[in-house]
Amino acid sequence: MRETGTDDLVITADIPLAARLVARGVAALNPRGEVYSTENIQERLTLRDLKEALRSAGAATGGPMPYHNRDKQAFANSLDRWLARNRVGERSP
């Protein structure tokens, strides 16, 4: 994470990591195509923490939803949008 910059994109399902990245201005995308942003990251963290507290108390919260083709398509679409906005490959080193 220390070597990421504002021109980078990180793919992660780790919400606390995504929160740290977003706070540093680094783009973060989850494998289901959701772009983490300053507008949605706090809600994601709160929900994650609530589920963790429930699991710690012994409640069965289930696991993540199955990864479907629509998730793959949503990820591909989000990645394409990010690549188009950032014109990857056209920047000089």
pLDDT(92) > 60: no
pLDDT(18) > 90: yes
Give the residue with greater pLDDT, 1 vs 24: 24
Work out the mean pLDDT of the chain and round it to a whole number: 90
Q: What residues does each domain of the chain span?
A: 9-86
Across the range 16-24, mean pLDDT stands at: 95
Q: How far, in Å, are 6, 27, 62, 83, 89 from residue 86 at the CA level?
A: 11, 11, 37, 5, 9
pLDDT digits (tens, 9 = 90+) for 71-91: 999 999 999 999 999 876 565
What pLDDT, on the 0 to 100 scale, is given for residue 87? 78
Contact 50, 58 (CB under 8 A): no
Tokens read off for 51: 């589920």
What pLDDT, on the 0 to 100 scale, is given for residue 23? 95
